[in-house]
């Protein structure tokens, strides 16, 4: 082939954010997300931060069509861990959620939405672990044998990696899932929970109590690679300041501005933007295969 097939066939716009509340900052975040005209919106959990999700649902109701584009990873402020099961039930009813673990193929992207609120989610051979394993197998087959997808994106509220600050990383889940993500060549892992923005180099599992291994091939994902971990938790809730502003595997972090992430996928290329609500691009990287 002469390569003339239009890349726009496989163009897909994904927006992602979490940790919003119902504040003016949150409304601005969602307005900006709607302005990006996404094909898919990945909500990374933690909605109203109250015992009632009505104000959060009202924001969604004010944006025609946003609900239908949204995949939702449940946060600790979306149920009785920090709020109430009323919040969970309101979200289930409004978004039509019957299962908080969801997989979905959107053009050449395979999305796996995990649920860190499942008490067994970080235990081997439990339901979620087995489900993730089977979905990763399916995604790998669609990519390597059937040529139907190029990218695997995982979303889960509580982060496997986060800089020192308000929350600790989910070490047990990391030990359990990252070797699977390495094996199946997952590309991106999206998190909320930490109220700022962070982005790692592509990293592989480094073993118990060890630092991760930074993939030497960098952003060239045509070679064997680790996953890029993105935290997009600056959606509207009061921002968390870093106790440790950077480490060797986290080249981008910011705790000053509210905003969201934008992924523009065209075939075997993803442009990843961290955007502030006042329209600034805080960081842009390009990943290619
Ligand atoms: Fe959270």
Q: Is there a domain that residue 92 lies in?
A: yes
Residue 1 within a domain: no
| Residue 232 alpha carbon to ligand 1 centre in Å | 12
As a whole number, mean pLDDT of residues 44-72 equals 97
Residues 6+ apart with CB under 8 A from 229: 159, 160, 161, 189, 191, 198, 199, 200, 203
Least confident of 23-27, 28-32, 68-72, 164-168: 164-168
Residue 2 included in any domain: no
Residue 9: which pLDDT band, with cuts at 50, 70 and 90?
low
Residues with Cβ–ion distance below 5 A, ligand 1? 46, 75-76, 193
Asked if residue 5 has pLDDT above 50, the reply is: no
Residue 172: how many other CB atoms lie within 10 Å: 13
Q: What tokens were used for 172?
A: 């047990």
Q: Tokens 């986060």 appear where?
A: 162
Residue 27 lies in a domain: yes
pLDDT digits (tens, 9 = 90+) for 241-252: 998 878 999 999
Expressed in angstroms and rounded, the spacing between residue 9 Cα and the centre of ligand 1 is 36
pTM for the structure as a whole? 0.96
For residues 5-33, give the mean pLDDT.
Answer: 89
Q: Terminus-to-terminus CA distance in the chain, angstroms? A: 18
| Opening angle at CA 203, ends 269 and 234, nearest 5 | 75
Range of the domain at 91: 11-288
Side-chain-facing half-sphere of 22: CA atoms under 13 Å: 16
The answer on pLDDT for 2 being more than 90 is no
Structural domains in the chain (count): 1
pLDDT in tens, 157-215: 999 999 988 889 999 999 999 999 999 999 999 999 999 999 999 999 999 989 999 99
- Concatenated DSSP letters for 175-232? HHHHHHHHHTT--EEEE-SSSSEEEPPSEE---TTSPPEEPTTTTBTTSS--BEEEEE
- The predicted pLDDT at position 243 comes to 85
Render pLDDT for 225-236 as a digit per residue (tens, 0 to 9): 999 999 999 999
**Ligand 1 centroid from CA 75, angstroms:** 5
**Radius of gyration over alpha carbons of the chain, in Å?**
18
CATH code: domain of residue 22: 3.60.21.10
Q: Treating both helix axes as pointing N-terminal to C-terminal, what angle do 171-183 and 127-144 enclose, rounded to 10 degrees?
A: 20
Residue 279 CA to ligand 1 center (angstroms) comes to 25
């Amino acid at each position: 082939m002469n390569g003339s097939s239009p890349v726009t066939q496989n163009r897909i716009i994904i927006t992602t954010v979490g940790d919003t509340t119902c504040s003016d900052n949150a409304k601005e975040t969602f307005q900006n997300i709607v302005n990006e005209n996404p094909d898919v919106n990945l909500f990374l959990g933690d909605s109203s931060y109250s015992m009632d999700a009505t104000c959060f649902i009202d924001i969604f109701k004010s944006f025609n069509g946003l609900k239908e584009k949204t995949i939702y990873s449940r946060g600790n402020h979306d149920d009785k861990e920090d709020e109430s099961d009323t919040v969970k039930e309101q979200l289930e009813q409004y978004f039509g959620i019957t299962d908080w673990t969801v997989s979905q193929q959107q053009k050449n992207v395979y999305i796996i939405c995990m649920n860190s609120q499942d008490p067994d989610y970080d235990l081997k051979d439990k339901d979620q672990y087995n489900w993730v394993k089977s979905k990763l197998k399916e995604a790998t087959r669609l990519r390597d044998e059937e040529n139907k997808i190029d990218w695997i994106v995982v979303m889960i509220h509580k982060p496997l990696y986060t800089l020192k600050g308000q929350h600790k990383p989910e070490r047990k889940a990391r030990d359990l899932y990252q070797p699977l993500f390495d094996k199946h060549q997952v590309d991106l892992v999206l998190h909320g929970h930490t109220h700022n923005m962070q982005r790692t180099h592509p990293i592989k599992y480094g073993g118990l109590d060890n630092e991760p291994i930074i993939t030497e091939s960098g952003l060239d994902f045509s070679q064997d690679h680790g996953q890029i971990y993105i935290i997009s938790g600056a959606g509207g809730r009061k921002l968390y300041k870093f106790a440790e502003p950077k480490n060797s595997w986290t080249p981008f972090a910011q705790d000053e501005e509210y905003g969201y992430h934008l992924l523009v996928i065209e075939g075997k290329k993803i442009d990843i933007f961290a955007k502030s609500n006042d329209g600034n691009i805080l960081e842009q990287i390009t990943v290619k295969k």
